[in-house]
Amino acid sequence: AYVIGEACVDVMDRSCVDDCPIDCIYTGERKLYIHPEECIDCGACARSCPVDAITWDRDLDPASPDSTHLADATAFFYQPLPGRSSPLREPGGAADLGPVGTDTALVAAIPRQEA
Ligand code: F3S
Ligand code: F3S
């Protein structure tokens, strides 16, 4: 799967959402998350992101901060989020689900990026 890293936080350009053919990029509060099971590895999103936030998981440097965002994306979908009683699991489409409105603890703890 492809993974959105820290460069997306507080930027949320959303070009990736427009270019994903299967609508598997979901909106949190300060970052977007690619569903690791729904993503078909087409790579369109990585080419469209203006801040280069998206990486194929097989290209991730295990020592880079972005490598933690792969496991974090799994947590976003399969662990309960604040304000939600049950995990999102496989929603099957970000447009139908709408903005989730919350982030994982990892992302929520990232200091706000100044504009
Ligand atoms: Fe969509 Fe990017 Fe995966 S465009 S299918 S999230 S590689
Ligand atoms: Fe974020 Fe880049 Fe998509 S900034 S919302 S990953 S286009």
* Distance from the alpha carbon of residue 4 to the mean position of ligand 2, in angstroms: 7
Cα-based torsion angle of the residue sequence 39, 40, 42, 48 in order, rounded to the nearest 10 degrees: -10
Q: What is the DSSP letter of 59?
A: G
Fold of 2-94: Alpha-Beta Plaits (3.30.70)
- Closest ligand 2 atom, residue 49 Cα: 7
Secondary structure (3-state) at 6? helix
What are the extents of the domains in the chain? 2-94
What amino acid is encoded at 56 in this protein? Answer: W
Q: Which of the listed residues 10, 14, 55 should we mutate to test ligand 2's pocket, taking the one with most ligand atoms within 8 A of CB?
A: 14
Alpha helices in 57-113 (DSSP H): 68-78, 94-97, 105-108
Mean pLDDT to the nearest integer, 22-41: 98
In terms of residues, how long is the chain? Answer: 115
50: pLDDT strictly greater than 90: yes
Say what the pLDDT of residue 29 is: 97
Residue 92's φ and ψ, nearest 5 degrees, are 80, 15
Question: Which ligand gives the minimal distance to the CA of 45?
Answer: 1
pLDDT band at 115 (very low <50, low <70, confident <90, very high): low
ipTM, two decimals, is 0.99
Instruction: Name the percent of the chain lying above pLDDT 70.
Output: 98
